[in-house]
Structure 1
Amino acid sequence: MPLSHQDQVTLLKDILNNHQMDCCGSVAECEQLERLIKSLLVNNQINQNVKNILQDVYLYSQQGAQTADLDQHILTNQGNLSEWVSHIDQFS
Protein backbone atom coordinates (compact mmCIF):
# COMPACT_ATOMS: atom_id res chain seq x y z
CA MET A 1 0.00 0.00 0.00
CA PRO A 2 1.57 3.32 -1.06
CA LEU A 3 1.99 6.09 1.48
CA SER A 4 -0.30 9.11 1.21
CA HIS A 5 1.41 12.45 0.68
CA GLN A 6 0.69 13.33 4.32
CA ASP A 7 2.34 10.08 5.46
CA GLN A 8 5.32 10.91 3.25
CA VAL A 9 5.61 14.38 4.80
CA THR A 10 5.39 12.86 8.28
CA LEU A 11 8.13 10.34 7.49
CA LEU A 12 10.29 13.09 6.02
CA LYS A 13 9.90 15.19 9.17
CA ASP A 14 10.62 12.16 11.38
CA ILE A 15 13.92 11.49 9.62
CA LEU A 16 14.91 15.17 9.78
CA ASN A 17 13.96 15.35 13.47
CA ASN A 18 16.00 12.22 14.19
CA HIS A 19 19.01 13.70 12.42
CA GLN A 20 18.65 16.87 14.45
CA MET A 21 18.16 15.20 17.82
CA ASP A 22 20.67 12.38 17.40
CA CYS A 23 23.27 14.35 15.40
CA CYS A 24 23.80 11.21 13.34
CA GLY A 25 22.15 9.23 10.60
CA SER A 26 22.73 6.73 7.84
CA VAL A 27 23.23 6.79 4.11
CA ALA A 28 20.04 4.72 3.83
CA GLU A 29 18.12 7.53 5.56
CA CYS A 30 19.56 10.08 3.15
CA GLU A 31 18.53 7.87 0.23
CA GLN A 32 15.04 7.51 1.75
CA LEU A 33 14.81 11.31 1.98
CA GLU A 34 15.70 11.56 -1.70
CA ARG A 35 12.98 9.08 -2.69
CA LEU A 36 10.37 10.81 -0.53
CA ILE A 37 11.25 14.22 -1.91
CA LYS A 38 11.13 13.04 -5.53
CA SER A 39 7.65 11.69 -4.90
CA LEU A 40 6.47 14.83 -3.09
CA LEU A 41 7.82 17.23 -5.71
CA VAL A 42 5.56 15.78 -8.41
CA ASN A 43 2.49 15.83 -6.13
CA ASN A 44 0.07 18.66 -6.92
CA GLN A 45 -1.35 18.57 -3.39
CA ILE A 46 1.92 19.82 -1.89
CA ASN A 47 2.16 23.56 -1.23
CA GLN A 48 4.70 25.36 -3.45
CA ASN A 49 6.43 26.76 -0.36
CA VAL A 50 7.01 23.21 0.87
CA LYS A 51 8.36 22.24 -2.55
CA ASN A 52 10.94 25.04 -2.26
CA ILE A 53 12.04 23.67 1.11
CA LEU A 54 12.12 20.15 -0.29
CA GLN A 55 14.68 21.28 -2.89
CA ASP A 56 17.01 22.32 -0.05
CA VAL A 57 16.41 19.08 1.84
CA TYR A 58 17.08 17.12 -1.34
CA LEU A 59 20.47 18.80 -1.72
CA TYR A 60 21.20 18.08 1.95
CA SER A 61 20.30 14.40 1.50
CA GLN A 62 22.37 14.07 -1.69
CA GLN A 63 25.40 15.61 -0.01
CA GLY A 64 24.83 13.43 3.05
CA ALA A 65 24.70 10.24 1.01
CA GLN A 66 27.99 11.12 -0.66
CA THR A 67 29.99 12.54 2.25
CA ALA A 68 32.77 10.66 4.00
CA ASP A 69 31.60 12.04 7.38
CA LEU A 70 27.81 11.97 7.55
CA ASP A 71 27.67 12.82 11.25
CA GLN A 72 29.66 16.02 10.63
CA HIS A 73 27.39 16.87 7.69
CA ILE A 74 24.35 16.49 9.97
CA LEU A 75 26.02 18.54 12.71
CA THR A 76 26.85 21.31 10.23
CA ASN A 77 23.17 21.45 9.17
CA GLN A 78 21.59 21.49 12.65
CA GLY A 79 20.08 24.96 12.13
CA ASN A 80 18.71 24.03 8.73
CA LEU A 81 17.13 20.82 10.03
CA SER A 82 15.01 22.56 12.65
CA GLU A 83 14.14 25.37 10.23
CA TRP A 84 13.03 22.95 7.52
CA VAL A 85 10.78 20.98 9.87
CA SER A 86 9.27 24.18 11.23
CA HIS A 87 8.56 25.54 7.74
CA ILE A 88 7.11 22.25 6.53
CA ASP A 89 4.79 22.25 9.57
CA GLN A 90 3.63 25.77 8.67
CA PHE A 91 2.70 24.94 5.10
CA SER A 92 1.51 21.34 5.27
Structure 2
Amino acid sequence: MGLNHEHQVHLLKDILTDHQLDCCGTVAEYEQLERVIKSLMANTDLNSNIKHVLEDVYQYSQSGRTANSIDSHIREHQSHLSQWVEEMDSYS
Protein backbone atom coordinates (compact mmCIF):
# COMPACT_ATOMS: atom_id res chain seq x y z
CA MET A 1 0.00 0.00 0.00
CA GLY A 2 1.39 3.39 -1.00
CA LEU A 3 1.53 6.53 1.07
CA ASN A 4 -1.36 8.95 0.80
CA HIS A 5 -0.57 12.58 -0.01
CA GLU A 6 -0.59 13.63 3.66
CA HIS A 7 2.03 11.00 4.50
CA GLN A 8 4.05 12.00 1.44
CA VAL A 9 4.09 15.66 2.50
CA HIS A 10 5.10 14.58 6.02
CA LEU A 11 7.97 12.54 4.54
CA LEU A 12 9.16 15.56 2.54
CA LYS A 13 9.05 17.75 5.63
CA ASP A 14 11.00 15.13 7.63
CA ILE A 15 13.79 14.96 5.05
CA LEU A 16 14.00 18.75 4.70
CA THR A 17 14.01 19.20 8.49
CA ASP A 18 16.79 16.61 8.81
CA HIS A 19 18.80 18.46 6.16
CA GLN A 20 18.29 21.72 8.01
CA LEU A 21 19.19 20.36 11.44
CA ASP A 22 22.04 18.03 10.43
CA CYS A 23 23.46 20.10 7.53
CA CYS A 24 24.13 16.86 5.70
CA GLY A 25 22.30 14.48 3.42
CA THR A 26 22.65 11.76 0.80
CA VAL A 27 21.99 11.30 -2.88
CA ALA A 28 19.37 8.71 -1.91
CA GLU A 29 17.48 11.35 0.08
CA TYR A 30 17.46 13.70 -2.91
CA GLU A 31 16.23 10.88 -5.13
CA GLN A 32 13.49 10.10 -2.63
CA LEU A 33 12.44 13.76 -2.56
CA GLU A 34 12.16 13.70 -6.36
CA ARG A 35 10.09 10.49 -6.41
CA VAL A 36 7.67 11.73 -3.76
CA ILE A 37 7.30 15.13 -5.42
CA LYS A 38 6.57 13.54 -8.80
CA SER A 39 3.87 11.44 -7.17
CA LEU A 40 2.38 14.45 -5.38
CA MET A 41 2.39 16.60 -8.52
CA ALA A 42 0.32 13.93 -10.27
CA ASN A 43 -2.27 14.04 -7.48
CA THR A 44 -5.24 16.15 -8.57
CA ASP A 45 -6.57 16.35 -4.98
CA LEU A 46 -3.49 18.21 -3.80
CA ASN A 47 -3.87 21.85 -2.79
CA SER A 48 -2.69 23.83 -5.82
CA ASN A 49 -0.92 26.35 -3.57
CA ILE A 50 1.58 23.74 -2.41
CA LYS A 51 2.69 22.94 -5.96
CA HIS A 52 5.02 25.95 -6.22
CA VAL A 53 6.76 24.81 -3.03
CA LEU A 54 7.12 21.31 -4.47
CA GLU A 55 8.64 22.74 -7.63
CA ASP A 56 11.22 24.65 -5.55
CA VAL A 57 12.06 21.56 -3.49
CA TYR A 58 12.34 19.50 -6.69
CA GLN A 59 14.88 21.99 -8.09
CA TYR A 60 16.75 21.87 -4.78
CA SER A 61 16.89 18.07 -4.91
CA GLN A 62 18.02 17.97 -8.54
CA SER A 63 20.84 20.42 -7.96
CA GLY A 64 21.78 18.72 -4.68
CA ARG A 65 21.98 15.29 -6.26
CA THR A 66 24.67 16.51 -8.65
CA ALA A 67 26.42 18.97 -6.31
CA ASN A 68 30.14 18.57 -5.70
CA SER A 69 29.44 18.79 -1.97
CA ILE A 70 26.01 17.80 -0.71
CA ASP A 71 26.72 19.29 2.70
CA SER A 72 27.69 22.66 1.19
CA HIS A 73 24.58 22.60 -0.97
CA ILE A 74 22.43 22.06 2.12
CA ARG A 75 24.17 24.87 4.02
CA GLU A 76 23.56 27.23 1.07
CA HIS A 77 19.82 26.47 1.26
CA GLN A 78 19.33 26.68 5.05
CA SER A 79 16.88 29.58 4.92
CA HIS A 80 14.87 27.90 2.15
CA LEU A 81 14.60 24.60 4.02
CA SER A 82 12.73 26.07 6.99
CA GLN A 83 10.60 28.25 4.71
CA TRP A 84 9.53 25.26 2.60
CA VAL A 85 8.59 23.24 5.69
CA GLU A 86 6.55 26.17 7.05
CA GLU A 87 4.78 26.62 3.73
CA MET A 88 3.95 22.90 3.53
CA ASP A 89 2.55 23.10 7.07
CA SER A 90 0.28 25.97 6.09
CA TYR A 91 -1.11 24.12 3.04
CA SER A 92 -1.46 20.64 4.50
Q: TM-score, normalised by structure 1?
A: 0.98
Aligned mates of 1:56, 1:5 — CA distance in 2: 18
Deviations 1:55-76 (A, max 9, x none): 0000000000011100000000
Aligned mates of 1:59, 1:68 — CA distance in 2: 16
Q: Which 5+ residue runs of structure 2 have no aligned equivalent?
A: none
Runs ≥4 residues deviating over 4 A: none
What is the alpha-carbon root mean square deviation over aligned residues?
0.5
Question: How many angstroms does 1:49 deviate by?
Answer: 1.2
Report the equivalent of 1:70. Answer: 70
Report the equivalent of 1:32. Answer: 32
Query: How many residue pairs were aligned?
Result: 92
Q: Which 5+ residue runs of structure 1 have no aligned equivalent?
A: none
Mapped pair 1:5 → 2:12:
no
Aligned mates of 1:35, 1:50 — CA distance in 2: 16
Question: How many angstroms does 1:52 deviate by?
Answer: 0.7
Report the equivalent of 1:46. Answer: 46
Report the equivalent of 1:58. Answer: 58
Q: What's the % identity of the aligned pairs? A: 55
Aligned mates of 1:60, 1:42 — CA distance in 2: 19
Deviations 1:18-54 (A, max 9, x none): 0000000000000000000000011112111111100
Aligned mates of 2:48, 2:75 — CA distance in 1: 28
